[in-house]
Each structure stands twice: as structure tokens, then as C-alpha cells.
A = this chain, B = another copy of it.
């Protein structure tokens, strides 16, 4: 069994991110400055100093959950059957990673659409890039620029998909939006251009 310490650490981290995001959602995007570190810490049942051992800014705490999810990108791809073509392997891996469980709409909206969080939100998504690039390289045997560019494009596409999923207009399932976004990446459709 894995270290109890490690599990406790994960639990505390999760408690802090959850509390931070919940409080941020409660205040809404305009009242982000009102989310005090003290509130986050006490809501997570931890001292302010401990909060700061885990995160070095409110923004990082709020986006921490998203970052943790993104980090799984490489493993998600590695879990796909070896024979699968790259595009479907990547697509299905990302659909699974980002829709299971379905993200909380309010939380994702807060993260992605609050200007002050923009930088940290981008960081939260892109932390998955490197592991995804490695996994792609393993799969295709490619080296150098190409796997990294593919990984970065995939992550960027998912980010755009998230934005679209959040717009109230058309509410297709998130999985469908991700599939459409990734198909734009893997088949740029030369003819119509």
C-alpha cells in the first residue's frame, strides 16, 4: 500500500483546492479579491501557514484541481490499446480524462473565464503537455519537435473545447465538443482552404 504520508498529503492538497475553488465560485469572478487566504485555510481545516506550504498563491490553489487532472494526460494515453491509431487513442484518452468525472460547470467557468486567473488556468492545462508529449513520442517513435507540437496542439484544443462547452448557447455534451475540437487538430481539412 502506498505511503500513508503520501495519501494524507494528497488529501490535504485536495481539501485545500476544493475549499479554494468553492469559495471562489461563491464570490463569483468579480469578487475574487474577497477570497482571503484565511478563509481558504480554515475552510480546508488547516492553518494558513500550511496552506502556503502547498500553494504559493491563491490562484494556484484555485486552479490546483484542474492542474491535477491535466497531469494525468500521459498516463491516460498510455492506457489506450497499443494498436490504436494515434488520433483515436489520443481522442479517447482525453475524452476519458476530462469527462470522467464530468467537470463542475461553475468551477470550470470560474477557472477559465476569470481574467485574474487566466495565467494560472493556462498553466493548469499545460502542465499535462510534457507527459503527453512523451507518451505520444513512445507511441509513434517520433523524436524532436513533432510530438511536442502535437501534444501542445491537443492541450490547446481541449482548452478551446472547454470554453465552448461553457458558453450557454449550445450545450452539447463535453465529450462531443472535445471530439470535434480534436478532429480539427488531427485533420486540418486542407480542401476548404
- In the complex, which residues 76-120 of chain A have their Cβ closer than 8 Å to any Cβ of chain B? 85-87, 118-120
Main secondary structure of the interface of A (DSSP, over half): helix
- In the complex, which residues 143-193 of chain A have their Cβ closer than 8 Å to any Cβ of chain B? 144-146, 148-150, 152-153, 155-157, 159-161, 163-164, 177, 180-181, 184-190, 192-193
Interface presence of A122 (CB below 8 A): yes
Interface residues of A (CB under 8 A from B): 59, 85-87, 118-120, 122-123, 126, 140, 142, 144-146, 148-150, 152-153, 155-157, 159-161, 163-164, 177, 180-181, 184-190, 192-193
Q: A122-B122, A140-B193 are in contact. List 17 more A-B contacts (CB 8 A).
A: A85-B193, A87-B188, A119-B119, A119-B122, A119-B123, A122-B126, A145-B177, A145-B181, A146-B184, A149-B184, A152-B153, A152-B156, A152-B157, A152-B159, A153-B156, A153-B185, A155-B156
The 5 closest A-B CB pairs, nearest first, are A119-B119, A152-B156, A153-B153, A122-B122, A86-B193
